[in-house]
Chain A
């Protein structure tokens, strides 16, 4: 059983230092690499009313944990200026955005289109599934293998994914380990 959350739930969360207990920024948006199957970083807003966009970003390596109520970093120096960040964080390739992509099984069945990312609560940005608008209508959640191929239009998932479409995050949390075991992944 894994506790999961969607990427949109991260938006607006405070970024808090473990050693200082200070809220040093808040999450503006997440930067995702579909190939790596994980967040590569988050962009930030300054903290406070009408504070606006921060010039700093938070690369995934500097994320201590992403929880339900805060994104934790060890200290304020974990935030880096955009220019000093790895290229994939500083200049994310928006054309590889998976949102809206068609999810196709290897057998050619469409499961729906991607509407959000699903992450492990307490992890550092591992994406374990997608929220989809199901082909037949309604919302569903699918588990992901650690890596998969994406084109920017469609993404291809193993055939057994169809058996693992869950109605909610709890259902997906309960089945994601089984799914990976079936694929021979840890």
Chain B
């Protein structure tokens, strides 16, 4: 099933083992090299916690299920801390082609809820395959330039 970054923001995160409420999804951490959701960021500020994609038992339409609370961990390094603060969030980021031309602002990103694989980047009325994503930082997301995306 296809999910979107915007659509899952604020979704409940529940422990499968204890059925307890662990918080809500604030961001998704993306592995730009593999074009995958790497982890789910829960909460914000100092209480931020991460669950790696492999620690989920299901990314459902009503709740994100974490296999076990032991899978929760704090941000591991500066990169993850920046991601947890939303600085690397794809949605809302300026999209820049690798040729140095602006393509617009990323409005949403879709991904496969079963595998976490990114599908499309939505910029205005265009859908750009996530395969063109080359990198994402605090300034911009960089996409491989295709002629049809310009203009």
Contacts and interface: CB of A to CB of B under 8 A. Distances in A.
Interface string B92-111: 01001111111000000000
A39 to B, nearest CB: 14
Interface in A105-157: 121-122
A104 B15 CA distance: 78
Contact of B100 (A20, A22, A72): A72
A68 B101 contact: yes
A155 B140 CA distance: 41
Nearest to B137: A21
A-side binding surface: helix, strand, loop or mixed?
loop
Interface stretch (A29-37, A59-67, A89-97, A163-171): A59-67
A68 B137 contact: no
B81 to A, nearest CB: 15
A16 interface: yes
A122 B146 CA distance: 12
A44 interface: no
Nearest to A47: B139
A23 B145 CA distance: 18
Nearest to B141: A21
B139 A21 contact: yes
Nearest to A75: B135
Given A69-B96, A72-B142, A19 B101 contact: no
Contacts of B101: 67-70, 121-122
A21 B30 CA distance: 13
A66 B135 CA distance: 17
A70 B135 contact: no
A71 interface: yes
A69 B98 CA distance: 11
Contacts of A64: 98
Interface in B72-130: 93, 96-102
A70 B137 contact: no
Given A68-B102, A72-B142, A19 B97 contact: no
A69 B102 contact: yes
Interface in A1-45: 13-14, 16-23
Interface of B: 93, 96-102, 134-142, 145
Given A18-B98, A21-B140, 14 more contacts: A16-B100, A16-B139, A16-B140, A19-B134, A19-B142, A21-B142, A22-B139, A23-B140, A64-B98, A68-B100, A70-B101, A71-B100, A122-B99, A122-B100
26 contacts: A14-B139, A16-B100, A16-B140, A17-B135, A17-B142, A18-B98, A18-B142, A19-B134, A21-B93, A21-B96, A21-B137, A21-B142, A22-B137, A22-B139, A65-B98, A67-B101, A68-B100, A68-B101, A68-B102, A69-B96, A69-B100, A69-B102, A70-B140, A72-B96, A121-B99, A122-B99
